[in-house]
Amino acid sequence: MILDLFFPDRCIHCNRIIDADILVCNLCFGQIHFTHFSYSDENEIKERCKLLFPVENAYALMQFEEESVSRKIIHELKYRSREKVGKILAKWIIERLDFNHQKPDLLVSVPLHPKKQKERGYNQLHLFTEALSKSYDIPFRHDLIKRNHYSKAQALKDKKHRLSTENMFSITENISEQHILLIDDVFTTGNTISTIAWEILKSGNNRVSVLVMAMDV
């Protein structure tokens, strides 16, 4: 209580004092550009995925724009060790996403290299994935996909290097007859998701869908 008086929680966008269980104030929340996509219908992220690999369904929570509230939210999650951000984003997803009788069999998040995970202290997608798993009653696997190479953050790479994902990931266990929901924070070029999707598709007669917190526009 005393710490709350001296170090109150503040909106990550405008710095207003807010309750501890939220990220942004009501005014800034209204500035977030949610996509309002339907998971099972055609939408922009599904069309972009279809150019890269066979995708069942796809969903993005927010649009990822320059100097936007959504960009600041993702930055807090990835680079400032704000693990609670993942739980709050999962809550926003749960309020909006209906699988419409096309619920996947397994949730799989994009892995970090062990060295990078040690540097950050956690994988920003784990709590997010686990919260979705609990709410939708879908099992998750954090160990199904392995990142083979350590690399600098995507945000620090130029476009040429962001497109290079050859041999970046491998599957740790052959699976088949599964509908996998691949989970990532931001969909930019789609090459990371595509590389993992092909590893899953090659493993057996599997299907892949995609869920991301935000998509680049």
Task: Give the tens place of pLDDT for each residue, 9-57.
Answer: 899 999 999 998 889 999 999 999 999 999 989 999 999 999 999 999 9
116 with 161, same domain: the answer is yes
78 with 99, same domain: the answer is yes
Instruction: List, for residues 113-156, the tens digit of each pLDDT value.
Output: 767 666 666 677 998 999 999 999 999 999 999 998 876 655 55
Whether the pTM exceeds 0.85: the reply is yes
Q: What is the Cα–Cα distance from 27 to 120, expressed in whole angstroms?
A: 31
59 with 47, same domain: the answer is yes
139 with 48, same domain: the answer is yes
Q: Which amino acid type is present at position 168? A: M
What is the number of structural domains in the chain?
2
